[in-house]
Amino acid sequence: MQSRELVIIGAGPAGLSAAVEARRLGIKDVLVIDREPEPGGILKQCIHTGFGLHVFNEELTGPEYAERFIREAENLGVEIMLDTMVIELSADKRIVAVNNREGLMEIQAKAIILAMGCRERTRGAINIPGFRPAGIFTAGTAQRFVNIEGYMPGREIVILGSGDIGLIMARRLTLEGAKVKCVVEIMPYSNGLTRNIVQCLEDYDIPLLLKHTVVNIHGRKRVEGVTIAEVDENMKPIMSTAKFVPCDTLLLSVGLIPENELSRMAEITIDEATGGPVVNQRMETSVPGIFACGNVLHVHDLVDYVTREAELAARGAASYLADGGKKYEYVPVSTGSGLRYVLPQRINADAMTDSRQNFFMRSVRPMNKARLIIESEKGVIKSKAMRHVKPSEMISIQLGRDEVIGIKMLRFSLQEEGDGVERDG
Amino acid sequence: MSAMVNEKTVTCIICPAGCRIRVSMQGGEIASIKGNLCKRGENYAKDEVTHPTRVLTTTVRLEDGRLLPVKTARPIPKALLFDAVKELSNVVVKVPVKIGQVVYSNVAGTGVDVVATRSWK
């Protein structure tokens, strides 16, 4: 068994950002483990632009964003073990990993950062009836085929779900010569960023059918078409509106799931709302010394926020390695009305690694005008007017240590204000 | 003599507000811009209606068969995106490649370079 100071599981944007920050903080022994043959994670196949506006103040592509961190990690002497799968994690911070060079390895870490990312929801997760022909892919799988492997998944395409990957693929496949018939979204609003709706759909006249879903998949060997129908307010298909759309491919962009099999193995508490671990102010899970960041913690829309969160997890790991796992009391952070979740879920103001704490949250629905209210047991401690809130765009707000010191609870809520038509621009 | 009045709607992507901006055109000139909350929206709408441009990202082949992600070094006219992709489908690049390296020049006659967005050994 080998002993390591800090082991990071996953060499995507979260893992690489955490590794770089950990080395900058002076942690000497940093090992990153990844199952892929190259570091960079999903950014390698995200060849479009839109990355780095916050971190680098320029618009980079996914591979460019990844390469900056890969180079920095190399310069700082981070060890990256590739083609290696972590198959076990225990609460005493023991890792079992395997690759075809060294076989089975046991590693005892002093601290661990989980950065395993997320995976896509599949057809099975949303139970679409119909046959099971070839030609049904998740949007991310299609992205890998087109951008890394160099294969077209099909010629006539329907996309179910308006998540960002689906929108990006609508444009990508159109540019490569496919016909994207429509993007079908069950909700009354899109789950993608506005810029993607405009630049991926409107630019190419691809219809976005809101309040619609796929109710049947046709074709025995290969997809021959799908039946789509409008849904009512309970999201039940209205069968009188059903119509057949011929196509040879159906792409699914219907959500992402944080990949927490290892976390569960280590008996880390998982938040039902985020699908990721419950964490404290320094991104530490319910198991002391095990931290989490990036899409394994909650699904992000911007990689820039992943980097910031990963750096905080690295500072957390550094402070844990310095304080030797001192016990802290935590104040619960709860999610009030209007919000789907708030993260971190508990804090200790004395143990904050930074003078200001970032809180991330998502709204339950779009609101033109809203007020974010933060309360303690003594009443409202902060409120902020917000405009154009959307579930697809994460809200981030900071509280200073002085604002949270001595409180016994924190609650975040989001209240819709006015009718949203007032404009004072 | 009355010129044709033509209205175009542009969704602004400068900020999350996503204003639906209505631009009235009269005889090839912008007559009015409405629905924007700020000045940045006005400029965006003006550009979108008169000369919309986009950064193109796509892939080209390496000589060993792998794919190289690339982008145009500057935005190119939106109307030339398909021509650019077509032209780039014939490009084959020698290995190794450095990020930022120019792999093709003057794509679709735009005078804009196409650069590698990753390194390949």
- Predicted local distance difference test score (pLDDT) of residue A124: 81
Query: Is the pLDDT assigned to residue A423 strictly greater than 60?
Result: no
Residues B5 and B27: their CA atoms lie apart, in Å, by: 7
Task: Judge: A194–B13 Cβ closer than 8 Å, yes or no.
Answer: yes
Task: Judge: A67–B118 Cβ closer than 8 Å, yes or no.
Answer: yes
Q: Using H for helix, E for strand and C for coil, what is the string for A113-167?
A: EECCCEEECCHHHHCCCECCCECEEEHHHHHHHHHHHCCCCCCEEEEECCCHHHH
The chain B residues in contact with chain A (CB within 8 A) are 11, 13, 15-18, 36-38, 54-59, 61, 65, 67, 69, 71, 78, 81-82, 85, 99, 117-119
Residues A377 and A345: their CA atoms lie apart, in Å, by: 16
In three-state secondary structure terms, A170 is helix
Residues A284 and A299: their CA atoms lie apart, in Å, by: 17
The number of angstroms, rounded, from the C-alpha of A269 to the middle of its chain's C-alpha atoms is: 18
Task: Judge: A388–B18 Cβ closer than 8 Å, yes or no.
Answer: yes
Task: Judge: A388–B55 Cβ closer than 8 Å, yes or no.
Answer: no
Query: Is the pLDDT assigned to residue A162 strictly greater than 70?
Result: yes
- Average pLDDT on A198-204 reads 94
Q: Are A237 and A213 in contact, with CB atoms under 8 Å apart?
A: yes
Task: Judge: A61–B16 Cβ closer than 8 Å, yes or no.
Answer: no
% pLDDT > 70, chain A: 98
Structural domain containing residue B43: 5-50
The number of angstroms, rounded, from the C-alpha of A309 to the middle of its chain's C-alpha atoms is: 12
The number of angstroms, rounded, from the C-alpha of A31 to the middle of its chain's C-alpha atoms is: 23
Tell me, yes or no, if A420 comes closer than 8 A to chain B by beta carbon: no
Nearest CB neighbour to A388, from listed B17, B59, B85: B17
- Average pLDDT on A248-259 reads 96
Q: Are A73 and A13 in contact, with CB atoms under 8 Å apart?
A: no
**What is the pLDDT of chain B when averaged over all its residues?**
91
Tell me, yes or no, if A156 comes closer than 8 A to chain B by beta carbon: no
- CATH code 2.60.40 region(s) in chain A: 328-425
Phi/psi of residue B71, each to 5°? -145, 160
Residues B105, B67 share a domain: yes
Q: Which two tokens stand for residue A117?
A: 């990312």
CA angle A130, A145, A196 (to 5 degrees): 85
Task: Judge: B99–A44 Cβ closer than 8 Å, yes or no.
Answer: no
Residues A31 and A77: their CA atoms lie apart, in Å, by: 10
- Predicted local distance difference test score (pLDDT) of residue A351: 84
Q: Domain of B75: which CATH number?
A: 3.10.530.10
Cβ contacts (< 8 Å) between A202 and chain B: which residues?
Answer: 11
Cβ contacts (< 8 Å) between B17 and chain A: which residues?
Answer: 387-388
- Average pLDDT on A402-419 reads 90
Task: Judge: B85–A425 Cβ closer than 8 Å, yes or no.
Answer: no
Residues B102, B73 share a domain: yes
Residues B72, B21 share a domain: no
Q: What is the pLDDT of residues A111-138, one digit of tens each?
A: 999 999 999 998 887 888 888 999 999 9
Q: What is the pLDDT of residues A2-37, one digit of tens each?
A: 999 999 999 999 999 999 999 999 999 999 999 999
% pLDDT > 90, chain B: 64
Query: Is the pLDDT assigned to residue B86 strictly greater than 80?
Result: yes
Task: Judge: B58–A175 Cβ closer than 8 Å, yes or no.
Answer: yes
Residues B102, B61 share a domain: yes
Query: Is the pLDDT assigned to residue A424 strictly greater than 50?
Result: no
Burial class (CB in 10 A: 0-12, 13-18, 19+), A191: buried
Query: Is the pLDDT assigned to residue B4 strictly greater than 90?
Result: no
Superfamily of domain A1-120+255-325: FAD/NAD(P)-binding domain (3.50.50.60)
- CATH code 3.50.50.60 region(s) in chain A: 1-120+255-325, 122-254
DSSP state of B80: G
User: pTM of the prediction?
Assistant: 0.92
DSSP state of A273: T
For residue B66, being part of any structural domain is answered with yes
Residues B44, B63 share a domain: no
pLDDT band at A209 (very low <50, low <70, confident <90, very high): very high
- The ipTM estimated for the assembled molecules is 0.89
Cβ within 8 Å of residue A411, ≥6 positions away:
A333, A334, A335, A336, A374, A375, A376
Say if domain A328-425 classifies as CATH 2.60.40.
Answer: yes
The number of angstroms, rounded, from the C-alpha of A285 to the middle of its chain's C-alpha atoms is: 17
Q: Domain of B46: which CATH number?
A: 2.20.25
CA dihedral A308, A311, A316, A317 (to 10 degrees): 150
Residues B95, B66 share a domain: yes
Task: Judge: B119–A67 Cβ closer than 8 Å, yes or no.
Answer: yes
- Predicted local distance difference test score (pLDDT) of residue B89: 94
Query: Is the pLDDT assigned to residue A250 strictly greater than 60?
Result: yes
- Predicted local distance difference test score (pLDDT) of residue A420: 46
Query: Is the pLDDT assigned to residue B3 strictly greater than 80?
Result: no
Query: Which residue is closest to B78 within chain A, CA to CA?
Result: A203
For residue B121, being part of any structural domain is answered with no
Least confident among A139-153, A184-198, A263-277, B61-75: A184-198
- Average pLDDT on A204-218 reads 96
CA distance B1 to chain A (A): 34
- Predicted local distance difference test score (pLDDT) of residue A331: 94
Residues B101, B82 share a domain: yes
Of the CA atoms within 13 Å of residue A87, those in its CB half-sphere come to 11
State the DSSP string of A4-32. EEEEEE--SHHHHHHHHHHHHTT---EEE
The more confident residue out of A57 and A297 is A297
The residue among B17, B34, B50 that closes a domain is: B50
- Average pLDDT on A175-198 reads 92
- Average pLDDT on B86-106 reads 96
- Average pLDDT on A398-402 reads 92
The class level of CATH for A122-254 reads: alpha beta
Query: Which residue is closest to B57 within chain A, CA to CA?
Result: A48
Least confident among A304-308, A356-360, B16-20: B16-20
CA distance B4 to chain A (A): 24
Q: Which two tokens stand for residue B69?
A: 């992600």
Question: In A, residues 134-153, which contact B (CB 8 Å cutoff)?
Answer: 146-150
For residue B61, being part of any structural domain is answered with yes
**Domains: count for chain B:** 2
Query: Is the pLDDT assigned to residue B27 strictly greater than 90?
Result: no
Task: Judge: A388–B16 Cβ closer than 8 Å, yes or no.
Answer: yes
Task: Judge: B117–A47 Cβ closer than 8 Å, yes or no.
Answer: yes
Residues B64, B103 share a domain: yes
- Predicted local distance difference test score (pLDDT) of residue A422: 46
Spatial CA neighbour of A294 closest among A41, A47, A20: A41
CA distance A49 to chain B (A): 7
CA–CA distance from A153 to each of A170, A223, A250, A291, A328 (Å)? 12, 11, 9, 38, 52
The more confident residue out of A20 and B16 is A20
Q: What is the pLDDT of residues A222-247, one digit of tens each?
A: 999 999 999 999 999 999 999 999 99
Tell me, yes or no, if A59 comes closer than 8 A to chain B by beta carbon: yes
Q: What is the pLDDT of residues A319-356, one digit of tens each?
A: 999 987 788 889 999 999 999 999 999 999 888 888 89
Residues A83 and A311: their CA atoms lie apart, in Å, by: 24
CA distance A180 to chain B (A): 15
